[in-house]
Structure 1
Amino acid sequence: MSALSLFAPAKINLGLSVLGIVPSGQPHTGYHALHTLMLPLDVGDTLEVWPADALRLEVRGADLPSDGRNLVYRAARAYLDTAGVEAGAEIVLHKSLPLASGLGGGSSDAASTLLALHRLYPAEVDLPALAARLGADVPFFLTPGAALVQGIGEQITRLNLPSISLVLLNPGTAISAADAYRWLDETAGFTPPLDVGAIRAALAGGQPLPYFNALQAEVLARHPEVAAALGALEAAGLHSPLMSGSGSTCFALARSREQAEAMARRLQTEHPDCWVRAASCSGV
């Protein structure tokens, strides 16, 4: 059988509110309650998957483990075990996204792994439940499209949003999501829900977006290079710069795909040590 090839898209958080910590006595006690708009992009990683007699993973493009420390491996093992499949799979992960960058690369890779194995070995498996066991962002990537994500990431409401073009800039700093949330906890800097209606209206009108990222202030306080990335995007004439997720990737919106591509080329020349990409999201 020829290999299945799946694109694993990056995501951005078009605003990220952390409402607080789920109190004791409720499901998901101790986790963070979120309110965020998530959009898949047309940049990401790629997976190739074949049926095999055992589970094997190869990673190309990044120095990552290929065993149970890798989320792709864990996703594959979880699906095979849950589906009762005695065979395995040969998986090649082609990494294009920077690591620990707030773009959801690992979560997207894991979701694509579940989808690929479900096609190779169809079975009555609750993929969203399995995805939720792997990580808060993984369920989002099982279905295409923008979404309002709430709870600890398991409450997903698909939304139609206007198409957007943007530029991504990563200064080369890996930031642990666990650290970013811990820094927020230390200040109790929790935030109210996003004004989703206002964000959608601003997108439709090409206006600056009234959004925020609850994790951003504490990350900037410790990583001035992330603040510099936001400044570089704004100086390039892009609007509504924001850090995505727990960082360190920042993004800003362009008036068109052509402007995004032109500004990405300019920023890559001005900041050769950074990872810079033009990207788009269809919004649906």
Structure 2
Amino acid sequence: PGVAVSTPDVFKALSRRDNDALPPLPRRLDFHAIRNWLETTRNDLEGAAQAIQPAIGEALKALKRADAAFARMSGSGATCFGLFETGNVAKRAAIEIRARHPDWFVAATRSMEVSDGEA
């Protein structure tokens, strides 16, 4: 969202450090499997980062309003990402978000494709 957040500050603001382990990756790495898996996971740093920099929450809301099937903050912030059903939906979302937030860096990208033998 065009802002910085200090990683040491995020870790200092982290209220809980004894969270449960995340579930294993699904065997099949297609869009729906990854999205469903991500729905069962969390970013333990997201709440602390948003408390320091509320623009992170604004970015996540913007992604969801733009039809992201899933949105989350990456790492300790402030970068956020969305998963979109198709490339065209992602491109349309990028245009929409960029129009509303011209000071943000917004890009529609493609994920790597995994063949059946690689998962």
**TM-score of Structure 1 vs Structure 2, range by shorter chain:** 0.7 to 0.9
1-structure distance, mates of 2:7, 2:35: 30
1-structure distance, mates of 2:99, 2:60: 16
Return 5+ residue gaps in structure 2 as ranges.
115-119
> Quick one: which amino acid aligns to residue 239 of structure 1?
A
Per the alignment, residue 246 of structure 1 pairs with 76
Return 5+ residue gaps in structure 1 as ranges.
1-170
Structure number with larger C-alpha Rg: 1
2-structure distance, mates of 1:178, 1:206: 29
How far is 1:235 from its partner?
0.7
1:90-131 deviation digits (Å, cap 9, x = unpaired): xxxxxxxxxxxxxxxxxxxxxxxxxxxxxxxxxxxxxxxxxx
Per the alignment, residue 194 of structure 1 pairs with 22
The structure in which a higher percent of residues are helix is 2
SS in 1 for 2:20: coil
* Residues 1:283 and 1:194: Cα distance change in structure 2 (over 3 Å): farther
* Residues 1:218 and 1:264: Cα distance change in structure 2 (over 3 Å): same
How many residues get paired? Answer: 112
Q: Is the 8 A contact 2:66 2:97 kept in 1?
A: yes
TM-score scaled by structure 2? 0.80
How far is 1:198 from its partner?
4.9
Q: Is the 8 A contact 1:206 1:255 kept in 2?
A: no
Per the alignment, residue 273 of structure 1 pairs with 103
Indicate the structure whose relative CO is greater, using CA pairs within 8 Å and at least 6 residues apart: 2
2-structure distance, mates of 1:226, 1:237: 17
Q: 1:223 aligns with which of 53, 60, 71?
A: 53
* Residues 1:207 and 1:215: Cα distance change in structure 2 (over 3 Å): closer
Q: Is the 8 A contact 1:190 1:214 kept in 2?
A: no
How far is 1:206 from its partner?
6.8
Q: Is the 8 A contact 1:267 1:276 kept in 2?
A: yes
Per the alignment, residue 261 of structure 1 pairs with 91
TM-score scaled by structure 1? 0.36
What percentage of residue pairs aligned between the two structures are identical? 31
